[in-house]
Structure formats: structure tokens, C-alpha cells
Amino acid sequence: MPERHRPADAATILASLRVVEQERSRRAGDAALAARVHAVKAYQEARFRHTYADLLAHPRYGAAARFFLEELYGTQDFTRRDAQFARVVPALIRLFPHEVVETVATLGTLHALSETLDGAMGAVLAEGFVDAARYAMAWQAVGRREDRRAQVDLTLEVGRSLDRYTRVPMLALSLRMMRGAARAAGLSELQTFLERGFDTFKAMRGASEFLGMVDQREGTLLRELFDDPAAAMAAGRLP
């Protein structure tokens, strides 16, 4: 990407971080909402494990499935990583290759959208307990079908970006060489995420089939959640 476009990436990353911080502040002032949002996140992690039990146990795809679960989809607290981003976005733009900056911008957009949707789900729940029926009801109440589709697409784009890295030898080398500079700039959390993603997708030796399965399963569940939740539960797609 040309140099002149990089400030747009910085603006995107900072805007995403502001959205995430607003969501965190809202929950910090409402313990009941915080509990309900955590319940949503916990259920979604269980749902991911259920939907991708075969991939999590697969010798080729297991590491990538765990990466998605632990880095993009689970209940992990990313406050520390977000704080690093907010503090050193100019350094990130300056130090990292532009392909990596684009991926970080996508990751930020995904993070902000996920937090917003989780907050909306938590807001419509009556209590801090989520099962298949309550989860489907929450999506029906929240709506935002296009945002859910965008969330899936952004997740897939992060995966595609990491897969592309594995086919650019100089990019892989530059990422390794960034370790010292990233640590000195306060970007160690981001460096760890990128290296783990690169190593995971390189070991998979091609991500098209894996990402295709994720796209197909998430697309099916999305249609059922909004059009026919009973079908999703009858088919066992919700734990």
C-alpha cells in the first residue's frame, strides 16, 4: 500500500480502539451488564468449540482453529494489547511493513465490531445465563444481520492475510527482524500475535480449505439464527 495511505490505517486503528474503550467503560459502570456480556462471550467460546470440534482435533487444522478461538473469538481480555496499540500507533505505522499494518487495521475493526455486538447481546438478555435458546433469542432481538456477516468476513480476512504472509519470504524475514524494535516500542503483544499467526498458518501449508469450512459453517449458522433458530437447535449447531 502506498505511503500516503498509511495515516488512514492509523485513523482506523485509533477509531476502533475508541469504540472498544467505550464498550468497556459502559460495562465498568454496570456490573449486571458486564456479567451478561461475559456470559455471551463464554457461550460463544463454547459454541466455537462445538462447531469446530473436528478441526480443533485435526492434525493439520487444529492449531489454526485454536488461534481463531484464542486470539479472535474467545473470552480473553485484550486490554493490554489494546493499550499498547493506542499508545504506539505512530510507531506501529512507522516500524511494521504496510501489509502488517493493514492486517492490524482489520483486526482493530473486527475487535470493535465484536465488542459492540457482544454488548448489544448482553443488553437484551434478562440474566447472566446463556443457553442455545437464549442465544438465538438474543440474536433475534438484536438483529444486525449484516454486522454479523461482516464480523465473519473480517475474521476470514485476518486469516487470509496471515496466509498471504507465509508466501512472502521477505515479509516473514522482516517480521522476525522486528522483534527487538517491537519490544523497544512497546509492541510486544502485537509481535507475539503476528508471529503466532504466521507460524500457525505456515504450518498448515495453505489455508483455503480451512477458511472455506469456517465460512460455510458460520454462514449456515447465521442464516438459521436469523431465519429459523429452531433449525439450528434441531441440527445440533448450538450446544
The pLDDT score that the predictor gives to residue 182 is 77
The pLDDT score that the predictor gives to residue 100 is 85
Task: Report the distance separating Cα 15 and Cα 12, nearest Å.
Answer: 5
- Rounded to the nearest integer, the mean pLDDT of the chain is 89
Name which of 1-10, 115-124, 141-150 the model is least confident about. Answer: 1-10
Compute the average pLDDT of residues 39-47: 95
Residue 52 predicted with pLDDT over 60:
yes
Q: What is the pLDDT of residues 100-133, one digit of tens each?
A: 888 889 998 999 999 999 999 999 998 888 999 9
158, HSE (Cβ side, Cα atoms, 13 Å): 25
Compute the average pLDDT of residues 51-60: 97
Task: Report the distance separating Cα 185 and Cα 86, nearest Å.
Answer: 12
Q: What is the pLDDT of residues 165-192, one digit of tens each?
A: 888 877 777 777 778 777 777 778 888 8
> Which residue type is seen at 183?
R
Task: List the one residue out of 119, 89, 117 whose CA is nearest residue 105.
Answer: 89
- In this structure, is the dihedral angle defined by the CA atoms of residues 226, 160, 8 and 111, taken in order, positive or negative? positive
37 versus 97: the higher-pLDDT residue is 37
| Residue ranges of domains in the chain | 3-234
- H/E element holding 75? none
- Core vs surface per residue 104-136: b (16+ CB within 10 A) or e: bbbbbbbbbbbbbbbbbbbbebeebebebebbb
What are the helix and strand counts (H, E) for the chain?
Answer: 13, 0
220 versus 179: the higher-pLDDT residue is 220
Is-contact 17 85, C-beta < 8 A?
yes
Compute the average pLDDT of residues 53-59: 98
CA dihedral 42, 208, 108, 99 (to 10 degrees): 160
Is-contact 9 38, C-beta < 8 A?
no
Task: Report the distance separating Cα 154 and Cα 166, nearest Å.
Answer: 19
Compute the average pLDDT of residues 58-76: 91
All 3 cell numbers of residue 99?
A: 501489509
Residue 64 predicted with pLDDT over 90:
yes
Place 195 in a pLDDT band, splitting at 50, 70 and 90: confident
Place 1 in a pLDDT band, splitting at 50, 70 and 90: very low
All 3 cell numbers of residue 117?
A: 455486538
Task: Report the distance separating Cα 229 and Cα 133, nearest Å.
Answer: 8
Name which of 26-40, 42-56, 171-185, 212-226 the model is least confident about. Answer: 171-185
